[in-house]
A and B are shown apart, each in its own frame.
Chain A
């Protein structure tokens, strides 16, 4: 009788979904991602650009509906883990004031093979951008500031749904 080893089976993937005011580089959760069954590890990072839509950005702040944002983010990671064969999905989004160049989001995926890493990573960032209640307040070189994605007060507002949002601006 063939003895079945644990090869090919795995416990539930490691999943973390985090909102934090701390620099994302400092989070310990990114130190050890996945297991020896995961031959591929992929990191996606989004960081604050110095310009947006032709305007020079000097700083910004992210505001979040913290409890819901963490819940939505966790839901997205769970969905990704159900769709793709991965060992770990660690996602963190920064909130509060950020300087130019600072990391706004980091997604680390570990999986047996690279294809799942790329697919899961793409899935998480695209879903995050349309579903997670986080807002960006940009400050510009001329001293003005605005909420990104918000229609100007004099523009005709469009009906919005969680799947119909401005999402092409970052990163």
Chain B
């Protein structure tokens, strides 16, 4: 699965993808995943659920069945569609206060 993490420039003129998104791993997810930020390349039309499945393949990163996700700093459901350049954050159980 590591091979699906983005590691080369896509053709910027292509309109059918892939799309590249910036992934942020906070709290315990960052600790488990061994990084707090990575870039992921996905087929155009991918949804939140798809990137969750991609990230599930990351060694050490144990995610619940349906982790809480934010896209561009707003909570987003599994069906939310992703776009080029989106910021996708995996939100472990919050503990402010």
Contact = CB atoms under 8 A, between A and B. Distances in A.
A128 B92 contact: no
B2 interface: no
B94 A129 contact: yes
B94 A169 contact: no
Contacts, number: 99
Contacts of A161: 66, 68
Given A135-B95, A136-B95, A159 B62 contact: no
Interface residues of B, number: 25
A78 B64 CA distance: 31
B93 A149 contact: yes
Interface residue tally on A, bucketed by range: 35 or more
Contacts of B96: 62, 64, 69, 93, 104-105, 128-129, 132-136
Given A65-B24, A65-B89, A135-B27, 10 more contacts: A62-B96, A65-B26, A67-B73, A68-B74, A125-B97, A129-B94, A159-B64, A160-B67, A165-B93, A166-B95
Interface of A: 46, 62-65, 67-69, 71, 93, 104-105, 125, 128-137, 147-151, 153, 157-162, 165-167, 169-171
